[in-house]
Structure formats: structure tokens, C-alpha cells
Amino acid sequence: MGVETLICSYVSSHSLGPHYKVVPVIPWLPAIPSLAYLVGAIFILSGAGLLFQRNVAESSIILGVLMLLCGLAFDVPRRPNLMSAEWRTNVLEPIAIGSLAWLAPGLGGIPRWLQRTSCYLLAFAFIVFGIAHFQVLTFVASLVPGWIPWHRFWTVFFGVAFIAAGVSFATGFLQRWAALGVGLMFALWTATIHVPAVLNLLRTPGAPQDPDKWSDVFIVAALWGGSWALTRDLRDRKDVSLRADFNRA
């Protein structure tokens, strides 16, 4: 995402036209070069920090703060309609990624209130994502590849799964299974919808290189990885809790 932000802030033309008000990739920053370069650099440093265990906590906190600030400060004022498709994607996607960053492994020392807030934000985002599957059911179904049968069924199924995962995060019931299931959904979408769309652009001579196609891959991959990282963390915390109970006994 950091490299993508730097490239899109540098290149003056794209599929939306040469004059634009925002950098056309997540987190949809204002088209201010210095701001875009700064945020892109922070993304790169945070991503590199996540690769090293000793830097995971700091990198996750910085990434979470940055994503939530971008979603709330830059995207909410531009998207006042809470039920619009733009609000769901432009606002809630960076907030969901930021919440997953705060809940990432290595953050056992963060305040309890921050963990709860992250779970509630993630729950809200997932529930809205699920409702959106029913609001624009025909459009979402059209995104399912032709070789997969029962487009509308899968759209409804994943909408219900999103809502169920949101309820799970809000209540704390079966959170690990919810994170595992949501991560699997994002993994399937990455492999069947978003990566093939980008590969088709690369294989088609003269095809417009829409930054949104690349951004979709990175967004879904981030939500996929964050969900599965949370699955591992919830498992480890449960194992620690069980060992502590055994030792006390």
C-alpha cells in the first residue's frame, strides 16, 4: 500500500483523469504530494516493522492509528451518506484494517479499552459489509466469476457470514472461528476475483490500468492476513489462559 500510494501520488494521470482531488487508492488521501509521500513512507516502514517480532507492537499501533485517522479525518467528511457504497468502502475499509492492526499478535500489552474498541469497530464494519451484500445483491453477484455456479446464493451466504462475524466480534462469542472464517473469505476473493482482474489487465494490450484494481488486491490481502494473524493470537492467548488455570489448580 505504501509503494502504491507513492506511485499514485507521483503519477499525474490515471483512469479517473489527470485532475483529481484524492489519491485514488486506499486510504484515499487528499491529493497533496507531501502528505501522500509521508503517509506512503509510514506505510512502508510499518509494513517492514511487522516482519520483525521486536517491532510488531509499535508498527501495529502506528499503522492502526494512521488508518483510523485517514478513515475518520479524510473520508468521513467526503462521504456523509452512511448507507452509500462509497461510505462503506472508503471509510470502513481503512477502519477495519486499522482495527485488525491494533488486534494483531504482540499487542497483549495495549489497554483493555483499546482492544474492546477495536473489536466493536471491526464488528460494525463487518455488519455493514454484510448488509451491503443484500443492498446491492445483483451488483455483488455480478463480481463472482462465471465458472462458479449460484452467484446469488454465494452473495447471500457471504453477507450472512459477514453479519455473523460482526456479531461474534461484538459479543466475544467464537471470535477465533469468526476471524478464521472471515480470513478464509478474503483469501478466496483474493484468489478468485481480485488477482484475476489484475492479471487480465496485464494481459490485455492497451487496457487502462485502474489503480483501484491494484488497491483492491492489497485491501483484501490486508484483511485476509490481519484476520488470520488475529486467529493465531486468539489461539495463543487461550493456550496461555488454559496453562495459567492448570498451574493455579
Distant-in-sequence, close-in-space partners of 88: CB < 8 Å, separation ≥ 6:
128, 129, 132
Of 75 and 119, the one with more pLDDT? 119
Mean pLDDT, range 27-38, rounded to an integer: 70
Predicted pLDDT at 183 = 92
Q: Which stretches within 136-210 are classed as H helix?
A: 137-142, 151-171, 175-189, 195-203
Query: What torsion, rounded to 10 degrees, do the Cα atoms 188, 103, 51, 195 define?
Result: 20
Dist CA 24 CA 142 (whole Å): 23
Residue 181 pLDDT level (bands cut at 50, 70, 90)? very high
Do residues 70 and 31 touch, judged by C-beta distance below 8 A? no
Mean pLDDT, range 101-106, rounded to an integer: 73
154 CB neighbour count, 10 Å cutoff:
16
Question: Which one, of 164, 147, 144, lies nearest residue 155 by Cα?
Answer: 144
Average pLDDT, the chain: 76
Query: What is the per-residue burial (b if ≥16 Cβ within 10 Å, else e) of 84-114?
Result: eeebbbbbbbbbbbbbbbbbbbbbeebeeee
Could you read off the pLDDT of 36-55 as tens digits, one per residue? 778 878 888 888 888 877 77
Of 221 and 14, the one with more pLDDT? 221
Could you read off the pLDDT of 209-236 as tens digits, one per residue? 555 677 778 888 889 988 888 887 766 5
Could you read off the pLDDT of 105-149 as tens digits, one per residue? 555 656 778 888 888 999 999 998 898 888 888 888 888 888 889
Long-range contacts made by residues 81-88, C-beta under 8 angstroms, separation at least 24? Answer: 83/135, 85/132, 85/136, 88/128, 88/129, 88/132
Predicted pLDDT at 202 = 55
Question: Which one, of 94, 140, 102, lies nearest residue 118 by Cα?
Answer: 102
Sign of CA dihedral 21, 186, 146, 140: negative
